[in-house]
A and B are shown apart, each in its own frame.
Chain A
Amino acid sequence: MPNDENGNNNNNNEAKKDSVPQPDPVPTAEAGPVEATVARMEMVADQTAPQESAPSAPVAIELTAEEDPSLVRAAYEHPLPIRITHWVNAISLFVMVTSGLRIFRAFPSFGPKIPEQVLLTIPRYVTLGGWLGGALQWHFTFMWFFVASGVLYVAYQVFSGHYRTMLFLPRDVAGVWPMARHYFFFGPKPAAAGQYNPLQKLAYTSTIGFGVLSLLTGLVLFKPAQFSGLAFLFGGFHLTRIWHFAAMCGFLAFIPGHLIMVLLHGWSNFYSMLSGWKREPEYQE
């Protein structure tokens, strides 16, 4: 812990680096928490004195709190509705994909029934349900959880304004390549500007698109006669089945990247999607 806090304090001091000589971190790290606090507070007093001729009391208190090494920087990143819908959606998506692949296995083609051409063979062990009827039972059950969690997620994002942290906007376009270069080609890591970087925003916003696409195409496949207008928009029943499959491919493209990033960023990052609280976030304010 002391090391973390020490590093953290150095970060906070970066803004002041130009005007004030950097304190030697070694004695602080070796000192106990109490001495560290005292030393830090003295330093704060030293730093503020020349910069502001008459520091007001609130400023002094604020700086002291920021510099207090016994406190941890934390952010409540994921409100409860986001966490619940995230996990219900994750479970549903797993069931929808595996049972969906079992359903596809019954007619693994997008062409005509006669002559039937097998487009791809889905291995049994990645499927759920055992047979077409069993897979349909899973699919028709979890589609309700999938849609409910998706709709509640989007509704909460919109009405709480929380979407601002994750919605990919045109201004994020420029930041995608530097981030991709960092992840895939070992480029320099761009500075964190918010809860999510542009590449994350692009990924998360895309999943909403995949979700909407799978819901609308799913409605057509489930009730092509009732939703004949929607079927027409997707180019007919036949094409809709391809769109539905494409939406799944979108999710399958997202999930491995998402999981690898979660693994790379460690427990604290993963735990934040369970507890909402992120310890020591990378970004400032």
Chain B
Amino acid sequence: MITRLDDQELKRKSRRQLLKLAPIAVLGAFAIPKLRDRLVEEGVRFSDWASGATFRSQHLAQTFSNSEVVPFEKFPYNGYDVLDPEVDLEKWTLTVEGDVQHPGEYTLAQIQALPKLSQNTRHICVEGWDVVGSFGGTRISDFLKLVGANTGANFLEVECADDYYESIDMASALHPQSLMCYEMYGQPLDRKHGAPLRLQMPTKLGYKQAKYLDTVRVTNILKPGKTGYWEDQGYSWYGGL
């Protein structure tokens, strides 16, 4: 629609319309180094909140047939420091603490006495690669029942033999595919994959799947700056898929 305007009138209208774009200038805050880090951390926190809010606790991640599983030797070893922290598998016990009725030391035999679940699921790394692997273990939810955990608590914290540490939301821990994994490809977990016990949750990214578990803690509060090894450096805490 062409209109004919006085030159001054056009300039005045244009200026007025230009000023209406002023609110966009708030995005300039992202260019200020001091604010920038805080803002993008808030952005990740918002994404994490949205992830938690839309998480479907009974929706299963895709499972695969044995022919779709990558060969064991093509399942990458991943560690943040050492691949084998030399856990003494004979004397190993899992320490259970926090909001549980039966805290204490649990042996691998006690964990393996719980119902076993084997599943072929996709392991996805935050870097972008993925592998379909074969995992066996007990449901985290069954283990939490065994130790009398308050599943109304917010978080599950784990500490590892290699000083790695992680925390996950209770809803994800109780997901029916979330495992305390002691087998891969039908064999006992090998040292470099996290023997004797690791987390394996197909609804979480790889860095949430802590290996060489040492301590499990049920808690309502996470210490700021102590929520997970990579999370404390900037990765998304929720890390959900």
**Cβ of A7 to closest chain B Cβ, rounded Å:** 15
Q: How far is the CA of A222 from the CA of B6 in the complex (A)?
A: 52
Interface contact B122-A144, CB-CB below 8 Å? no
Interface contact A84-B21, CB-CB below 8 Å? yes
Q: Which residue of A lies closest to B75 (CB)?
A: A114
Contacts of B110 in A (CB 8 A): none
Interface contact A140-B74, CB-CB below 8 Å? no
Interface contact A72-B10, CB-CB below 8 Å? yes
Known A84-B24, A113-B125, A226-B55; judge A133-B233 contact (CB<8 A): yes
Contacts of A65 in B (CB 8 A): 4
Known A91-B27, A106-B127, A112-B70; judge A73-B21 contact (CB<8 A): no
**Cβ of B90 to closest chain A Cβ, rounded Å:** 32
Interface contact A228-B62, CB-CB below 8 Å? yes
Interface contact B126-A136, CB-CB below 8 Å? yes
Q: Mark A58-83, 1 if CB is under 8 A from B, else 0.
A: 00000001101011111110001001
B143 proximal to A (CB < 8 A)? no
Q: How far is the CA of A193 from the CA of B241 in the complex (A)?
A: 49
Q: Which residue of B lies closest to A274 (CB)?
A: B18
Q: Which residue of A lies closest to B16 (CB)?
A: A275
Q: Which of A205-213, A257-265, A276-284 contacts B (4 or more CB under 8 A)?
A: A276-284
Contacts of B43 in A (CB 8 A): 137-138, 140-142, 144
Q: How far is the CA of A142 from the CA of B13 in the complex (A)?
A: 32
Q: Mark B28-63, 1 if CB is under 8 A from A, else 0.
A: 001000000001111110110001001110010110
Please report whether the interface of chain B is mostly helix, strand, loop or mixed according to DSSP: mixed
**Cβ of B233 to closest chain A Cβ, rounded Å:** 6
Size class of B's contact patch? Answer: 35 or more
Interface contact B128-A275, CB-CB below 8 Å? no
Interface contact B74-A114, CB-CB below 8 Å? yes
Q: Which of B3, B44, B54, B128 contacts A75 (CB 8 A)?
A: B3
A1 proximal to B (CB < 8 A)? yes
Q: Mark A245-275, 1 if CB is under 8 A from B, else 0.
A: 0000000000000000000000000010011
Interface contact B234-A277, CB-CB below 8 Å? no
Interface contact A113-B129, CB-CB below 8 Å? yes
Contacts of B1 in A (CB 8 A): 75-76, 285
Q: How far is the CA of A87 from the CA of B1 in the complex (A)?
A: 23
Known A71-B4, A74-B5, A75-B3; judge A237-B122 contact (CB<8 A): yes
Contacts of B56 in A (CB 8 A): 226
**Cβ of A108 to closest chain B Cβ, rounded Å:** 9
Interface contact A224-B241, CB-CB below 8 Å? yes
Known A76-B1, A114-B74, A140-B236; judge A225-B128 contact (CB<8 A): no
Known A84-B21, A114-B76, A141-B44; judge A281-B2 contact (CB<8 A): yes
Q: How far is the CA of A138 from the CA of B41 in the complex (A)?
A: 9
A201 proximal to B (CB < 8 A)? no
**Cβ of B235 to closest chain A Cβ, rounded Å:** 5
Interface contact B233-A277, CB-CB below 8 Å? no
Q: Which residue of A lies closest to B47 (CB)?
A: A140
Q: Mark A104-126, 1 if CB is under 8 A from B, else 0.
A: 10110100111010000000000
Q: How far is the CA of A158 from the CA of B166 in the complex (A)?
A: 46
Contacts of A80 in B (CB 8 A): 17, 20-21
Interface contact B235-A133, CB-CB below 8 Å? yes
Contacts of A83 in B (CB 8 A): 17, 21
Q: Which residue of B lies closest to A90 (CB)?
A: B24
A132 proximal to B (CB < 8 A)? yes
Interface contact A223-B234, CB-CB below 8 Å? no
Interface contact B7-A73, CB-CB below 8 Å? no
B98 proximal to A (CB < 8 A)? no
**Cβ of B132 to closest chain A Cβ, rounded Å:** 10
Question: 18 pairs across A/B with beta carbons < 8 Å?
Answer: A70-B7, A72-B4, A72-B5, A73-B4, A104-B128, A106-B126, A112-B70, A142-B43, A144-B47, A222-B51, A225-B62, A225-B240, A225-B241, A237-B122, A238-B130, A275-B18, A277-B14, A285-B1
| Chain A residues within CB distance 8 Å of chain B | 1, 65-66, 68, 70-76, 80, 83-84, 87-88, 91, 95, 103-104, 106-107, 109, 112-114, 116, 132-134, 136-138, 140-145, 222-226, 228, 231, 237-238, 241, 271, 274-277, 279, 281, 283-285
